[in-house]
Structure 1
Amino acid sequence: MFSAATYAERRKILCTRLTERGEKGLLLFPGHSASPMNYTNNTYPFRQDSSFLYFFGHDHEGLTGVIDLDAGESWYFDQGFSMDDIIWSGALATPEELAARCGAERYGAEKTLTHMVTEAKKSQRPIHILPVYRAETRMRLVQLLNCGIMEADKFVSTPLIEEVVKLRSVKSIEEVMEIEQALETSYAMYANALTATRPGASERQLASVLHSTLALAGSAPSFTPICTGRGQILHNHEYSHMLHSGDLLLIDSGAESENHYASDITRTFPVAGTFTGQQRDVYSIVLAAQEAAISQCAPDIPFIDCHMTAATTIASGLRDLGILKGSVESIVAAGAHALFFPHGLGHMLGLDVHDMEGLGEDFVGYDSTITRSEQFGLRGLRLARKLQQGFVVTIEPGCYFIPALMEQWEAEGTCKEFINFDTAKQFSEFGGIRIEDDIYITSDGHRVLGQQIPKTVAGIEGRMHACSQRMFQGR
């Protein structure tokens, strides 16, 4: 946990901002409960709700936080623990001690919480909640609010969402340090994966390297790692294939810090240690797109502009390879490049790997100045609004050759005036390339977070050659 003062200050700012907007009543932050895998006592690994973590800090089940806007004070509620809980899981601190650790002025048991919510409803005091994304949380709110299953959604508060997004979007120095802690683990994950990558290895072997590195660091994945020789499948979590000379290995993975802040890094490596000519050409295009987009990151720059810079760079590079044709401006305007770059450039990063996505993507990535495009590829952009000092974002352009999508576009004649389908078919077995880093927006520009993980052609080939030499000498 951070200091009690950190959580108290966050809640104070939230309370002040909502009160200034004329909001009244209670803000309700239910923490997570344990979620059974196949029977009650065999649960998935526990992960606390990120907004509860942000405002109250505690990382175990059975908790609820309340901010009373009218009284200007916070309550910490704990369902308590029985002797059986102590026997099986050990004793926790008292509710009084736990409230003090997160700076809450008041604390109480579950019955006090129930009474508080019941009285608020009776007196028609507003009750504000954030969007509900877990079934267990929904059922708890149904009981607490005495409402129907879907009626809980009527308590979801747009003003609360907007102010939470404003607060969580701007990262403090201690939050950036947490992300960099997670990135230290990411660095070790990629160093170990590079060492283990060779023809004849399996995707499962390399995925196990990522997981073991996380375990040894006392960390957990910020999302299910992608570790695949079939990079054209954007979210490929299947590890069933062997890797061969000439293949590319795409790893997209992240770790969590001690306080659950996420890292998110992608690298693409040649399995045999050296890029083929075709791979080098496409890889160089993606790297140029990433570097161009990163260089543009600064306060007041619309993130959609960074995306379009990456798209233009990819379109230009593919035109040089004869895959696209026509003017680059016309290619990008028509969305022809999206056949090969079908996703957005990146997203916010913080306590969630797609930070605050559970609050509503359009609240996080868009605002009154910009609406989501309907164009294929561009409509998947999670973040489009202006960057601000303190944001942490990912920059992850990619280039993919997806046979089914290419066949569909050719059959339908989609963007046929800009695509040389015969040339594109020569890349049908290519796969995909993505390169991703985590970027902190500073007062006058940006900083790439974490130790540098090799991403230039020379850097990757040099590191993999050194790894293979050490492995050979060790035999």
Structure 2
Amino acid sequence: MPPQTNPLPLAAVLQHRRDRLAEIYPGPVVLESGRAVSRNFPANTYPFRANSHFLYFAGLPLANAAIHLAGGRLTLFMDDTSPEAALWHGPSPSRDAIAAEIGADAAYPYQDLEAKRAEAATLPRQAAANPEPSQSLIEALVTLRLHHDDYALDQIRQAAAVSVAAHKAGMAATQGATTEAQVRAAMEQVIIGQGMACAYNSIVTVHGEVLHNEQYHHGLAPGDLLLADVGAEAASGWASDITRTWPVSGQFTSAQRDIYDLVLAAHDACIAVARPGVEYRDLHLLACRTLAAGLVDLGVLKGDPDILVERDVHALFFPHGVGHLLGLDVHDMEDLGDVAGYATGRSRSDRFGLKFLRLDRPLAVNMVVTIEPGFYQVPGILGPARQSGQYDDAISWSRLEEFQGVRGIRIENDVEITPTGCTVLTDALPTHADAIEALVSGR
């Protein structure tokens, strides 16, 4: 795995972020890390993950902590570890040691936060549902976190490298596996072994038509396609997100290869034009038109691809957006609703082919986004569409039946926007069908 290459120590990075916040939001701010949640008794907790806005300025995944930000200064509020906790979990750094590591100007017990809380802005627990009390703070956080600094980009690259290794391990394990769970285990073993965690619940499934399938009990059969959407999260919280789809047998059928190559064409078309100033919505529509044109060439769709996209016919097979922001969360800042994903003055469309688009703003330098077109045959979408007869002039249902072995295909990479174009941070993992077959079959 790549070594740490951050050009600045953590404290200097965090100070720079605090200074930038002070430039655009001079008022005091309180951000809390959150508390571990118990399952059935206090000491048996779910894995703790600190709030990402807290992490952005505090840098460490501290539980039961808070920070006060004002004028570029950071005050840490947390309690030292109790003797009883040390008995069970071992010694921990002191509050003062942690404060020094993150460059805090002062540190106090957690109970002292109350005196600061009343005068400061904070984020509501459900900021996406109720942003009004902190709208200006939310907008400031989005302004900062949309464009990653060198430290963040380095952390994302490290997470991406581990994710690449995990996917290669999953492909290599497939032919010796009998269930999805065994492939998942091979992939997550790599992530855990590198001191990282999964950035989200892994999707490893032969039912790729279920977009967020989190079941792993299905058996693997030679004619199946296995869709794996698995990404690592660095200990610092920065995420990666990769999807690959491969044949369990090690070789695509001709029908599977036709659809796979079409999805790849949409993926490659988007990456080829991604650069500063390009509207992400236009990338999505480019993927839609590429898929529609390819399905016309295959005889599945009928008519002019542009008109098919205007009618949202393509969305019967590609219902989601082409990707999302990536950063301290795999769907970065979506806890704030659409404020991060949608530029000022824009709102979600009610069109079937656009309403699930997570990002609608121009690309800019140091943004990181995913590009992830797909093709899915979802019974709950295609069944009613066929029964309605609404699309009989646009879809050859008999030709579509020849592709019934293709339940779902998605190809996803993480893309950094650079001054002259973009860099695929996950390009060490091949996308071409021949290379995928070679990895799976061990050639």
TM-score, length basis structure 2: 0.94
- 2:380 aligned partner, one-letter code: A
What's 2:199 paired with? 222
What's 2:432 paired with? 456
RMSD: 2.0
User: 1:283 and 1:417 mapped to 2: Cα distance?
Assistant: 25
User: 2:146 and 2:390 mapped to 1: Cα distance?
Assistant: 38
Does residue 64 of structure 1 match 2:66?
yes
Distance 1:131 1:398, change over 3 A: farther
- 1:84 aligned partner, one-letter code: E
What's 2:218 paired with? 241
The superposition leaves residues 308-355 of structure 1 with CA deviations (integer Å, 9 ceiling, x where unpaired) of 110000000111111111101100011000000010000011110111
Percent identity between the two aligned chains: 38
What's 2:24 paired with? 17
Distance 1:427 1:450, change over 3 A: closer
User: 2:189 and 2:126 mapped to 1: Cα distance?
Assistant: 30
The superposition leaves residues 290-309 of structure 1 with CA deviations (integer Å, 9 ceiling, x where unpaired) of 00011111001000000011
The superposition leaves residues 406-438 of structure 1 with CA deviations (integer Å, 9 ceiling, x where unpaired) of 111122234443222332233344211000000
What's 1:146 paired with? none
- For the 8 Å contact 1:180–1:449, the answer to whether it is kept is yes
- For the 8 Å contact 1:199–1:272, the answer to whether it is kept is no
Does residue 130 of structure 1 match 2:123?
yes
- For the 8 Å contact 2:256–2:405, the answer to whether it is kept is no
The superposition leaves residues 364-419 of structure 1 with CA deviations (integer Å, 9 ceiling, x where unpaired) of 11112533211113110101110000000000000011223111112223444322
Distance 1:95 1:463, change over 3 A: closer
User: 2:404 and 2:435 mapped to 1: Cα distance?
Assistant: 27
Cα drift, residue 77 of structure 1:
0.4
Please identify which structure carries the higher helix content.
1
User: 1:381 and 1:183 mapped to 2: Cα distance?
Assistant: 23
Cα drift, residue 200 of structure 1:
6.0
Cα drift, residue 258 of structure 1:
2.9
Distance 1:79 1:199, change over 3 A: closer
For structure 1, which segment, 59-68 or 294-303, has the greater mean C-alpha deviation from structure 2 after superposition? Answer: 59-68
Aligned length: 435
What's 2:35 paired with? 33
What's 1:104 paired with? 104
The superposition leaves residues 271-308 of structure 1 with CA deviations (integer Å, 9 ceiling, x where unpaired) of 11111110011001000000001111100100000001
What's 2:14 paired with? 7
What's 1:427 paired with? 403
Distance 1:155 1:332, change over 3 A: closer
Q: How does 1:36-51 map to 2 (within 5 A)?
A: 36-51=38-53
- 1:44 aligned partner, one-letter code: Y
Unaligned runs of 5+ in 2: 1-5
Cα drift, residue 132 of structure 1:
1.6
User: 1:301 and 1:369 mapped to 2: Cα distance?
Assistant: 18
- 2:43 aligned partner, one-letter code: N
Distance 1:31 1:270, change over 3 A: same
What's 2:148 paired with? 171
Cα drift, residue 159 of structure 1:
0.8
Match among 381, 387, 408 for residue 357 of structure 2:
381
Match among 244, 259, 264 for residue 282 of structure 1:
259
The superposition leaves residues 204-241 of structure 1 with CA deviations (integer Å, 9 ceiling, x where unpaired) of 11111112112221211001111011111111111111
Does residue 371 of structure 1 match 2:347?
yes
Q: Which has the higher contact order (CA 8 A, sep 6+)?
A: 2
Q: How does 1:5-404 map to 2 (within 5 A)?
A: 5-19=12-26, 24=27, 26-68=28-70, 73-117=73-117, 120=118, 125=119, 127-133=120-126, 156-198=133-175, 201-360=178-337, 362-404=338-380
- For the 8 Å contact 2:177–2:183, the answer to whether it is kept is no
- For the 8 Å contact 1:199–1:245, the answer to whether it is kept is no
- For the 8 Å contact 1:32–1:49, the answer to whether it is kept is yes
- For the 8 Å contact 1:366–1:384, the answer to whether it is kept is yes
Distance 1:199 1:56, change over 3 A: closer
- 1:383 aligned partner, one-letter code: L
User: 1:76 and 1:170 mapped to 2: Cα distance?
Assistant: 25
SS of the equivalent of 1:378 reads coil
Distance 1:53 1:406, change over 3 A: same
SS of the equivalent of 2:339 reads helix
Cα drift, residue 133 of structure 1:
4.5
- For the 8 Å contact 1:27–1:129, the answer to whether it is kept is yes
Distance 1:383 1:154, change over 3 A: closer
What's 1:142 paired with? none
User: 1:221 and 1:378 mapped to 2: Cα distance?
Assistant: 29
Larger Rg: 1
Distance 1:154 1:244, change over 3 A: closer
SS of the equivalent of 1:315 reads helix
User: 2:359 and 2:90 mapped to 1: Cα distance?
Assistant: 43
- For the 8 Å contact 1:202–1:239, the answer to whether it is kept is yes
SS of the equivalent of 1:196 reads helix
Cα drift, residue 154 of structure 1:
8.0
User: 1:254 and 1:363 mapped to 2: Cα distance?
Assistant: 24
SS of the equivalent of 1:186 reads helix
Distance 1:154 1:216, change over 3 A: closer
Distance 1:206 1:371, change over 3 A: same
What's 2:3 paired with? none
